[in-house]
C-alpha cells in the first residue's frame, strides 16, 4: 500500500514552528516510503479563513522545500460533506440538538462540581418530534452531533504512543455541524481522508481524543481508518508551553535570515532519540527518520539551539550555494575567508566592509602608531603578504603574539577579531592595506 500523508492547516494565520514540524514529519513519512504528501487547506471557517494565508502557507512550504504532491481546499468539497452528513443522519448516527452554549456550559459546571466527567448527557435524544418542532417554531435552530456507538470498542496501535483504547461512553457525542450549518473539524476531515486516500495521519498528541471519535466516523462511513500517530507537542526552552512558539512564524524566521535547512535539521529530530545535528542533506535525515525514535516527553524547542545549527550549516555552505546572496564583488576566496565568522548569511555585508571600507580606527598610543608606520614601510606584496609582514615585524621589533598581531588587525580592519588575516589581507589588497596602515600611523592619539 502506497503511503499517503497530509498536512491540513487552517488559513487563519501564518505557519509557526509547531505547524512546520507537523508538515515536515508528514513530508518525511511520505518520502521515506516513496509515497505522496498532500496539502489540504481546511478553510470551512469562511469568516476566519483568508486567501492571503493560503498563499503564505504555499510560500512557506516552498521555502522549506516541502513541496506537496497535490492540494485540496475544503471550501470546494462541501458537496462531499453534505452527502456524508445525509448518509449518517439517515443511519441514525447524526442527530439534532438544541441546547444553547450557555445551557451546555452550565451542565458542564454542574457535572464537574460533582466530580463527574463533563460528558454530554444526550438529552437531545429524548426529544419527541413535537418537542423539536416546537423549538424550531420558537426560532431555535439545531446543531448536529455524531452519535458514538457505546458498544463499539475504540482501539488502535498508535505509531508513537503504542496501544490506545477509549471507552466511547466516556466521550461526548461531538458536534459536527453548527446551527448556522457551518462545519466543524471532525467530519469533513474524516471524509477528506477517505476521499484523498490518506493512509497515515501524523499529528499532535492534542488530537488523541479526536482520533478516538473519528475512528468511529470512518467505520460509520464504511471505510478503514488510516494509521494514526500522535507526536508530543513542542514546548519552549523554559520547559512549558510558550506563547512565543505560537508567534514564531515561518515568515519571521525567514526574514531574520535563518536557513530553511537549519529549521528542517532541528525540527526533523526534535522530540526523537536521535541527536540534533547540522545536517543539510535531506537524504541523510530521511534515512534515519523512524516513528519508533519519537518520544512521549514534550519536545523542547530552543531558539539558541536553532541559532547554533544555523551557524554550523552556514559554515559548511559552498560559494555556489550563496553566490546570488552576496555583495557585488565578493568572490569564492572572500566567502571562504568570511564564512567562519557568520552565524547567518545576511551578516556577510558587515564583514565584507572590512575589505571594501571604510573602517573606523580605535585610539592608538604613540608607540603603536610608530609600530604601524613601520608596518606600512615593511609591507611587501607577495602570495603570502600577512605571513611575510608579521615575520618582518617580529624580526625588527621583537614583538610577538597579541602585541605583534592585534595592532595590525585593528589598523587594517577596525576590529579586534574577525576573519583569518592570512586570507583577508589579499582581499584588502596592497594599495588599500598600505593606506590604512599609514592612516593609523598618522592618526592623532
Q: What is the DSSP string of 125-173?
A: GG--HHHHHHHHHTT-PPEEEE---TTS-EEEEETTTEEEEE-GGGSPP
What is the C-alpha to C-alpha distance for residues 375 and 434, in angstroms, rounded to an integer?
8
- Taking the CA atoms of residue 435, residue 440, residue 444 and residue 445 in that order, the dihedral angle to the nearest 10 degrees is 180
- Containing 5, the helix (H) or strand (E) segment is strand 4-7
Q: At what angle do helices 401-413 and 430-442 cross, to 10 degrees?
A: 100
Phi and psi at 324, nearest 5°, equal -75, -10
Q: At what angle do helices 421-428 and 348-356 cross, to 10 degrees?
A: 60
Is the CB of residue 361 less than 8 Å from the CB of residue 439?
A: yes
What is the C-alpha to C-alpha distance for residues 7 and 17, in angstroms, rounded to an integer?
14
| Cβ-proximal residues to 154 (8 Å cutoff; 6+ apart), any chain | 165, 166, 167, 168, 212, 215, 216
Residue whose C-alpha cell is 470551512: 44
Is the CB of residue 259 less than 8 Å from the CB of residue 327?
A: no
Residue whose C-alpha cell is 530521511: 286
Please tell me whether 402 is known to bind a ligand. Answer: no
Residue whose C-alpha cell is 514546548: 235
What is the C-alpha to C-alpha distance for residues 202 and 86, in angstroms, rounded to an integer?
29
Q: At what angle do helices 260-269 and 17-32 cross, to 10 degrees?
A: 80
Q: What is the DSSP string of 324-358?
A: GGSPTT--HHHHHHHGGG-SSGGGHHHHHHHHH--
Known binding-site residues equal 243
Known binding-site residues for ATP equal 243
Amino acid at each position: 500500500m502506497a503511503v499517503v500523508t497530509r498536512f491540513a492547516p487552517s488559513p487563519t494565520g501564518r505557519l509557526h514552528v509547531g505547524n512546520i514540524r507537523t508538515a515536515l514529519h508528514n513530508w518525511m513519512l511520505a518520502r521515506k516510503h516513496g509515497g505522496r504528501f498532500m496539502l489540504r487547506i481546511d478553510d470551512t471557517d469562511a469568516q476566519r479563513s483568508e486567501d492571503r494565508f493560503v498563499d503564505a502557507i504555499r510560500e512557506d512550504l516552498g521555502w522549506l522545500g516541502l513541496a506537496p504532491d497535490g492540494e485540496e481546499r475544503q471550501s470546494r468539497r462541501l458537496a462531499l460533506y453534505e452527502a456524508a452528513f445525509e448518509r449518517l443522519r439517515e443511519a441514525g448516527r447524526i442527530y439534532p440538538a438544541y441546547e444553547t452554549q450557555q445551557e451546555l456550559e452550565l451542565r458542564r459546571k454542574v457535572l464537574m462540581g460533582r466530580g463527574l466527567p463533563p460528558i454530554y448527557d444526550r438529552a437531545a435524544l429524548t426529544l419527541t418530534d413535537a418537542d423539536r418542532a416546537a423549538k424550531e417554531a420558537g426560532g431555535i435552530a439545531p446543531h448536529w452531533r455524531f452519535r458514538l456507538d457505546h458498544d463499539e470498542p475504540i482501539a488502535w496501535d498508535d505509531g508513537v504512543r503504542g496501544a490506545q483504547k477509549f471507552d466511547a461512553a466516556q466521550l461526548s457525542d461531538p458536534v459536527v455541524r453548527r446551527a448556522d450549518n457551518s462545519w466543524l473539524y471532525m467530519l469533513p476531515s474524516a471524509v477528506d481522508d477517505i476521499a484523498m486516500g490518506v493512509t497515515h495521519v501524523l499529528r499532535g498528541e492534542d488530537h488523541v481524543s479526536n482520533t478516538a471519535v473519528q475512528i468511529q466516523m470512518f467505520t460509520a462511513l464504511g471505510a478503514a481508518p488510516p494509521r494514526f500517530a500522535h507526536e508530543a507537542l513542542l514546548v519552549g526552552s523554559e520547559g512549558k508551553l510558550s506563547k512565543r512558539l505560537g508567534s514564531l512564524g515561518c515568515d519571521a524566521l525567514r526574514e531574520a535570515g535563518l536557513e530553511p535547512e537549519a529549521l528542517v535539521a532541528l525540527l526533523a529530530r526534535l522530540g526523537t532519540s536521535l541527536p540534533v545535528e547540522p545536517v543539510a542533506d535531506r537524504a541523510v535525515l530521511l534515512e534515519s527518520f523512524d516513528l519508533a525514535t519519537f518520544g512521549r516527553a514534550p519536545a523542547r524547542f530552543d531558539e539558541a539551539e536553532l541559532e547554533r545549527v544555523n551557524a554550523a550549516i552556514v559554515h559548511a555552505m559552498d560559494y555556489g550555494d550563496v553566490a546570488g546572496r552576496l555583495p557585488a564583488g565578493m568572490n569564492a576566496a572572500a566567502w571562504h575567508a568570511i564564512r567562519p565568522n557568520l552565524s547567518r548569511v545576511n551578516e556577510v555585508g558587515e564583514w565584507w566592509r572590512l575589505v571594501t571600507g571604510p573602517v573606523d580606527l580605535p585610539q592608538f598610543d604613540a608607540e603603536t602608531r610608530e609600530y604601524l608606520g613601520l608596518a606600512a614601510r615593511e609591507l611587501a606584496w607577495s602570495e603570502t603578504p600577512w605571513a611575510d609582514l608579521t615575520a618582518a615585524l617580529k624580526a625588527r621589533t621583537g614583538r610577538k603574539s597579541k602585541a605583534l598581531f592585534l595592532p595590525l588587525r585593528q589598523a587594517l580592519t577596525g576590529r579586534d577579531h574577525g576573519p583569518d588575516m592570512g586570507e583577508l589581507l589579499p582581499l584588502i589588497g596592497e594599495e588599500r592595506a598600505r593606506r590604512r596602515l599609514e592612516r593609523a600611523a598618522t592618526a592623532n592619539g
